[in-house]
Structure 1
Amino acid sequence: MNSLRKNIVIVLLALLIQILYACNRPDTKPLNVLLVGNSSIYYNNMPKMLEYIAHENGKEIRTKLIAFGGYTLQDHLRDGIVEKMLDSLNWDFVILNEQSTLGENYVVDGVRRVKESESFYESVRKFDSIIKKRGAKTVILSLYSRKNAPKIDGEILDYSYMKIARELGIQLSPVSYTWQDILKIRNNWQLYREDNLHPTPLGSYVTANVIYSTLTENKSKSLNGEINGPVIEEFDGNTYQDSIVCLIKIDESKSQIVSEKAYNNVLSLNESGGYFKLKKPD
């Protein structure tokens, strides 16, 4: 009898181990994600943060980054690197990241400002056509405005991203909305660097969370500890694979707020049919 009970316990433990392993291992099919843009997405190696978040949630996202300092989507179209990369692999998603002023050299009183840009719209249209022909899905990243910029600058950015996403029927990743929501409740959090443009490690972590929820339609669990990865040169975006550093040290309470805000904005967007109704700023 004791021997029988012992065998039953062993079998149950073996089954439990298999179940736990199955629940915690990454999904069998990884998502191949190509990120196209500039320094706002390569600072602090944001793509590696995205991969880490996915892994910790039992998923696998493989990223490839094509981003250079100051680049616009129009610049990427001209040099042709992205198109060649699209032919190298079966991509699931291509994320497009435009410059913080939509690629326009619009200056008021010596300060770079934002205005609606037809060249931005046309660049997204061309990229979306190229991407769809390769069987991938286009995602447009809704970038935050520069820190301390007039409110209307952010409104124009949000309107422009939403307008082109709706026109083409492509997915939008609500990064700007999440940054705004977090800064409303935690105005002491430093998401911007001293240049009032580029993200701090925490700012990049917020962006990575939003992209994760956009691609998977899931909320990341709260994370605690360090995320390590290769150094990316801030000037030109070159990656040094042999130089591994701490990209961010995140605590569970902060991570929980970020993941909740990121997921809630993605959920709200999806419940609205994928697009918020925005009035064109005056």
Structure 2
Amino acid sequence: MHKRISGRTSSHLFVLLLVVLCFSCSQSKKTTHILFVGNSYTYRNNMPKLFEEIARSKGEQLSVSHITRGKYTFYLQSKRKKLYHALHDQEWDVIVLQGSSRDMLRDSARFKKRTYPALDKMLGMIQKNQKAAKVYFYMTWPYRKGDPKTKQFSDPDSMLEAVAAGYSNLRDRYKVPVIPVGKVWRSYHVTYPEANLYLRDNSHPSYEGSYLVACTMYSAIYGKSPEGADQVAILNQNESTRIQRFINKQYRTSEFQFYLKDSI
């Protein structure tokens, strides 16, 4: 014989069910807090905002901030009070670190004297205050014509090789994966030479270049294809569709996945 559930018990059950449902919804809609640290290669065309809009259009819930300043290296970033406060006063789920391209072209003495100590300090702060954060290095791209100041790297392929080697060394030293933006950028530029990824200075990204960076970031951080994402008012919609498809293919390559490993 079934017992009758009283009105009070029924109300309690309803409240309990409502609490469980609300908790489940809050868990499924957890906001991912992402911090970009870098220079103009990060903030130009407000790339972090492009990234955020792309991710939101793909159904992600996130909040994106950036600590950036033109021409800043890891060494200069490590001295910023703004970065210190961000790592101490806020909680981050993902932190992306971008250094100067030319730093990767320097000799090992400069790395030992400035870059390594700076990253020791920055990653030490992250390890102490942001234990749950996933950290990435952001590999930059070569200048359109290579570095004119250094004969050894005066073409884009030799410059990229040096930049990639620098970030690979950082990955192996710190066990931090690398988002291979530079590799993707160069591959896209070679495949589609008519694409306009650079500004007239042959260094900084055009709007399309920043869009390519943002799509690459999305695939690396979320492990998903950017295809179908918001084109974010990009002037050439055919270009944005082509970029999305290209990034999806690049993300699936062994080279892309190789850089996303913590170490070899």
Which TM-score band (shorter chain)?
Answer: 0.7 to 0.9
Partner of 1:130: 125
- Normalised by the length of structure 1, the TM-score is 0.72
Question: Which residue, 201, 204, 215 being the options, matches 1:209?
Answer: 215
Cα contact 2:177–2:262 (8 A) shared by 1: no
- Structure 1 residues 211 and 153: CA distance shift in structure 2, 3 A: same
Cα contact 2:35–2:95 (8 A) shared by 1: yes
- Normalised by the length of structure 2, the TM-score is 0.76
- Aligned-residue Cα RMSD (Å) equals 2.5
Question: Which residue, 142, 152, 173 being the options, matches 2:179?
Answer: 173
Partner of 2:13: none
Question: Which residue, 220, 228, 231 being the options, matches 2:226?
Answer: 220
Cα contact 1:76–1:82 (8 A) shared by 2: yes
For residues 174 and 181 of structure 1, the distance between their equivalents in structure 2, rounded to whole angstroms, comes to 11
For residues 207 and 272 of structure 1, the distance between their equivalents in structure 2, rounded to whole angstroms, comes to 18
Partner of 1:68: 69
Partner of 2:161: 155
Cα contact 2:44–2:210 (8 A) shared by 1: yes
- Structure 1 residues 192 and 59: CA distance shift in structure 2, 3 A: same
Question: Which residue, 188, 193, 206 being the options, matches 2:194?
Answer: 188
Kindly state the Cα deviation for residue 270 of structure 1 after the two structures are TM-superposed.
Answer: 6.3
Kindly state the Cα deviation for residue 194 of structure 1 after the two structures are TM-superposed.
Answer: 0.4
- Structure 1 residues 224 and 57: CA distance shift in structure 2, 3 A: closer
Kindly state the Cα deviation for residue 145 of structure 1 after the two structures are TM-superposed.
Answer: 1.4
Once the two structures are superposed, residues 47-103 of structure 1 have per-residue CA deviations (whole angstroms, 9 ceiling, x without a partner) of: 110011001101123111111111111111112211211122210111111112117
* Bigger radius of gyration: 2
Structure with the bigger percentage of helix: 2
Partner of 2:138: 141
Structure with the bigger percentage of strand: 1
Partner of 2:258: 272
Work out whether 1:254 is the aligned partner of 2:239. Answer: yes
Kindly state the Cα deviation for residue 224 of structure 1 after the two structures are TM-superposed.
Answer: 6.0
For residues 261 and 206 of structure 1, the distance between their equivalents in structure 2, rounded to whole angstroms, comes to 9
- Structure 1 residues 132 and 115: CA distance shift in structure 2, 3 A: same
- Structure 1 residues 41 and 273: CA distance shift in structure 2, 3 A: closer
Unaligned runs of 5+ in 2: 1-27, 147-154
Partner of 1:237: none
For residues 75 and 192 of structure 1, the distance between their equivalents in structure 2, rounded to whole angstroms, comes to 25
Task: Name the amino acid aligned to 1:214.
Answer: A
Figure out how many residues of one structure are paired with residues of the other and give that number: 222
Partner of 2:52: 51
